[in-house]
Amino acid sequence: METIDFLSSHGDLLLDSAFKKITTIRIGGPIKYLVSPFDMNRLKLIITYLKEEGIAFKMVGRGSNMVCGDGMYDGCVIKLEHLDHYEFQDDGKLYVEAGMVVPRLANVLATQGLSGLEFASGIPGTIGGLIFMNAGAYKVEMKDVIDSVLVFRDGEFVWLSNEECEFAYRRSIFHKHLDWVIVACKLKVERGDREKIKALMADRQQRRRNTQPLDKPSVGSCFKNPDSDYAWRYIDGVGLRGYRYNGIEVSEKHPNWLLNVKEATAQDFIVTSNFIKDRVKSAYDVDLVMEVELFNC
């Protein structure tokens, strides 16, 4: 069976997409195949087929933490937008599939008076993406709410405990095993006061609007915070607030955000981020580490 026929029989298939269409910074070249599997079993079939055929593949959530190269990706991008089921289980845990959009889930929980995801209510990613990055905000990270993670690896579905996921600051075991696919998870949620939960989420969303440039394409924070201070303070300290290189601009509002202000390329982003790192290293002897994933660059 031809690849196009196989993929289209197991998911929604696009042949004319590009990374700039599916990433929040709107950067990146054409994609040969973009498929959204209909369900978990179809995902297994697709990945097995791609491996057997020697076709490279890349899992992408909402593309909120990645910058992709401008050239053609001669492989298959897999999005899990159909894997967005959730259900409460008898053990009190919340089962969630990896394609669930986190702000949506946080709002569902808040409406039911359940606490646990308030910290992530403003992060525009999927559960799978946030687990991969061990995303966090307000001194809370995904590792604090994860009970276990369902992974597709070596041809089978396996549950990993929180400890087995090896969570660290903006990292997890999945960085070491890029062929493992996060499929679902179990979250620890607690009963709380619905109005207090909603008020906290509203307050944090307002803080985001006040302090972050949400009106321009970006990947959010570009660099991890060093142990010594916030990354944005170092960037501001070397006078790069508002700096611009081609289509990329260092945000005036939040210097750790690099914005696509005019048809930026991946090279624009890389050149700008390297320039920032060099300036901060020279001035403070601090090594800024990229939080963003660079792919196919």
Catalytic positions are: 170, 221, 291
CA 174, CA 180: separation in Å to the nearest integer?
A: 7
Q: CA 258, 23, 87 angle in degrees (round to 5)?
A: 120
Tokens of 176: 């070491």
Other CB atoms within 10 Å distance of the CB of residue 56: 13
Burial of 1 (0-12, 13-18, 19+ CB in 10 A): exposed
Q: Which of 27, 12, 28, 36 is nearest to 73 (CA)?
A: 28
CA 163, CA 255: separation in Å to the nearest integer?
A: 34
User: 14-31 burial string, b = 16+ CB within 10 Å, else e?
Assistant: beebbbbebbbbbbbbbb
Q: Which of 219, 210, 204 is nearest to 266 (CA)?
A: 219
CA 279, CA 184: separation in Å to the nearest integer?
A: 41
